[in-house]
Amino acid sequence: MRRPEFRTPLARAVAPVAAGLGFFALLGLLLWGIASLMAGEQAQTTTFTPDRLQVGSITRWAESIDTDGPVLFPGLGTTSGERTLVLDHNGTNVEKGWVVYYAYPADRGPECAVEQVEGTDDFVDCDGRTLDVTELSPPTNGEYPIVEDRKTVFIDLGERPGDTTP
């Protein structure tokens, strides 16, 4: 049995092009269908910041805090930098006594940021008051310290403003 042949030059030029366009149209529809099946109805969230901050060795950081005072971590967990945390350690047991505060007074809001008096546990707020680290605001958004494997301290950054739960 003989294969059909296109007799005119126009048919010989148009037929392969039309077949190629048809093939790529079908391939595109197939890929679009697969992608839409994979995407489904899932609620997707995008977070550009980690859920926890690895601070480092509990021994090294406890010694550093004992010598130089608490450590400030500016703008954690946000892209705008509005959340600054202070990590403090109390006591002689390096596995316990870790505390996290916000870097503003407990009786004021985030607009009253504090600055640390270098090498001490003291901070100066926006009104010029000198505050002890314990007078800073406790976290209200789920931030807390974690000691993992008895050697590394992390700060769990809790919920971030604007996060949506799926």
Top-ranked range on mean pLDDT: pick from 79-83, 119-123, 157-161: 119-123
- CA distances from residue 73 to 102, 116, 166 in whole angstroms, order as listed: 10, 12, 29
Per DSSP bridges, beta strands 152-156 and 144-148 are antiparallel
- Architecture of the domain whose range is 52-156: 3-layer Sandwich (2.102)
Sorting pLDDT into bands at 50, 70 and 90, what band is 47?
low
Among the listed residues 79, 87, 94, 84, the one whose alpha carbon sits nearest the alpha carbon of residue 47 = 79
- Out of 28-37, 71-80, 83-92, 157-166, least confident range: 157-166
Which structure tokens are listed for 51? 């859920």
Share of the chain above pLDDT 70, in %: 86
State the pLDDT at residue 129: 95
Average pLDDT over residues 51-65: 93
Cβ atoms < 10 Å from Cβ of 6: 12
**Closest by CA position to 74, among listed 109, 24, 113:** 113
Identify the three-state secondary structure at position 95: coil
- Whether pLDDT at 160 is above 60: no
Q: How far apart are CA 34 and CA 43, in angstroms?
A: 18
Mean pLDDT of 144-164: 81
Judged by average pLDDT, the poorest of 46-50, 95-99, 118-122 is 46-50
pLDDT of residue 40: 73
pLDDT, residue 165, reads: 39
pTM reported for the whole predicted model: 0.66
User: Please, are residues 82 and 74 in contact by the beta-carbon 8 Å criterion?
Assistant: no
Which residues pair with residue 156 across a beta bridge? 52, 144
Rounded-to-integer distance, Cα 45 and Cα 51, Å? 13
Residue 145 — very low, low, confident or very high, per pLDDT cuts 50/70/90? very high
Domain boundaries, the chain: 1-43, 52-156
Give the CA count within 13 Å in the CB-facing half-sphere of 163: 16
Q: Taking residues 64-88, report their average pLDDT.
A: 82
Q: Are 156 and 143 in contact (CB under 8 A)?
A: yes
Gap between the Cα atoms of 11 and 17, Å rounded: 10
Contact 136, 114 (CB under 8 A): yes
